[in-house]
Structure 1
Amino acid sequence: MGYRLSKIYTRTGDTGETGLADGSRVRKDHPRIEAIGDVDELNSMLGVLLAELEDQQTRTPELTAIIDILAPCQHRLFDLGGELAMPGYRALNQQEIERLEQAIDTWNEELGPLKNFILPGGSRAVALAHATRSIARRAERRCQTLNLSEPLEGIGMAYLNRFSDLLFVVARIIGRRQNVPERLWKPIQNVEHNDG
């Protein structure tokens, strides 16, 4: 494959518009660009999470399985960005969703049932997994906003939904493998409810 970018700046976006892969121009705050941007931010945050896990890999080799599941997701998120930039283009397939579901099911068996709400934190890696999950949820919402005005084909929204589910489980499994207790939500005691 040849070079994709010969120049980093083109000056064509200086007036607040950007080009899609089909050559059309849209405003930089168009719902499609918002969705592309959030998927890009998600991919970047996933890169931060992976870097954290890779830094710890020598201390905790059991994190390797988590890295092996998450690393391909960077490529799939890039594919999803391509689908959003090129309406009609399809890169994601159902096998990718099934791969995530299999990991969720396997790790959930190890974790057991969740008995309370949990808070992000406990370790840097757990917190980063939760931060990545929250960006995944936002990317999913942005794609839904786009879907309302320009119906999306393919499985991109389902992929984002499953990926955010995976990240929730990843946060828990990282904590378990690091022997970090989950930070459980503690409700305010003696809260009065106003019924009317």
Structure 2
Amino acid sequence: MKIYTKTGDKGKTSLFGGTRVPKYDLRIEAYGTVDELNSYIGLIRDQKIDDYTSHVLIKIQNELFTLGAMLATPAEKKILKNGKERLNINKIDVKSVELLEIEIDNMNGTIPPMTNFVLPGGHTTVSFCHISRCICRRAERIATQLSDETSIDELIIVYLNRLSDYLFVLARKLTIDNKAQEIPWIPEKL
């Protein structure tokens, strides 16, 4: 497979289904940000973490590729002329969101309750979780804006929202796993 096609040399790219759009198109920004998030989650996986968490992160990375494909497919191109779906893969669904909620609940049961906001940091792996959480929130904001302009599956936004929560709780869990210090944000009084 040839890596370069030269079809994007003038600042345009193709969505799934062939529609040509500028590379700054909001849909491109949405799935590009999801791709960036996926790369950072890979960076978390590359750290010293337990096998179970690594397994969950691989599942999430696969789901993010699916989510990106869903974002890359405009509503008017979802169905082929023969009536079949263009994107012939399992989509993000309620079970995908529920898995994140189960993982959040399981991790929350092993860490102290929050009494303050916490400052990101304390360990490299924890920082990668917080960076991923921030990128996830950005992807969610872009997807929300895209949904205001065109039709996208509403579960995309729900999934990204829940994933950012998962990444936050994972950061807290990994703080404990790595015997790092969680520093609470305590605003100074005037």
Q: TM-score, normalised by structure 1?
A: 0.86
Are the equivalent residues in 2 in contact too, given 1:103–1:166 (CA < 8 A)? yes
Are the equivalent residues in 2 in contact too, given 1:17–1:28 (CA < 8 A)? yes
Are the equivalent residues in 1 in contact too, given 2:116–2:184 (CA < 8 A)? yes
Structure 1 position 83 matched with structure 2 position 58? no
Higher gyration radius (CA): 1
Which runs of structure 1 show a deviation greater than 4 angstroms over 4 or more consecutive aligned residues? none
Q: Deviations over 1:86-123 (max 9, x none)?
A: 23346112111111100101111211320011011110
**Equivalences for residues 160-175 of structure 1 within 5 A:** 160-175=160-175
2:142 — aligned with what?
A: 142
Q: Name the amino acid aligned to 1:21.
A: F
2:176 — aligned with what?
A: 176
- Tell me how far apart the structure 1 counterparts of residues 151 and 73 of structure 2 sit (CA, whole Å): 13
Note the residue ranges of structure 2 that are not aligned, 5 or more in a row: 79-86
**Equivalences for residues 12-23 of structure 1 within 5 A:** 12-23=7-18
Q: Name the amino acid aligned to 1:167.
A: L
Note the residue ranges of structure 1 that are not aligned, 5 or more in a row: 1-5, 58-62, 192-196
C-alpha deviation, 1:188, in angstroms: 2.1
Q: Deviations over 1:130-189 (max 9, x none)?
A: 111000000001101111111212511111111000000000000111221201113224
> What is the percent sequence identity of the aligned residues?
41
Q: Deviations over 1:52-107 (max 9, x none)?
A: 1xxx24xxxxx222222222100000000110112334611211111110010111
Q: Name the amino acid aligned to 1:176.
A: I
The two structures, once aligned, show a CA RMSD in angstroms of 1.3
Count of residues in correspondence between the two structures? 177
- Tell me how far apart the structure 1 counterparts of residues 57 and 28 of structure 2 sit (CA, whole Å): 25
Structure 1 position 48 matched with structure 2 position 35? no
2:52 — aligned with what?
A: 65
- Tell me how far apart the structure 2 counterparts of residues 14 and 82 of structure 1 sit (CA, whole Å): 22
**Equivalences for residues 91-170 of structure 1 within 5 A:** 91-170=91-170
- Tell me how far apart the structure 2 counterparts of residues 107 and 44 of structure 1 sit (CA, whole Å): 23
Q: TM-score, normalised by structure 2?
A: 0.88
- Tell me how far apart the structure 1 counterparts of residues 55 and 116 of structure 2 sit (CA, whole Å): 29
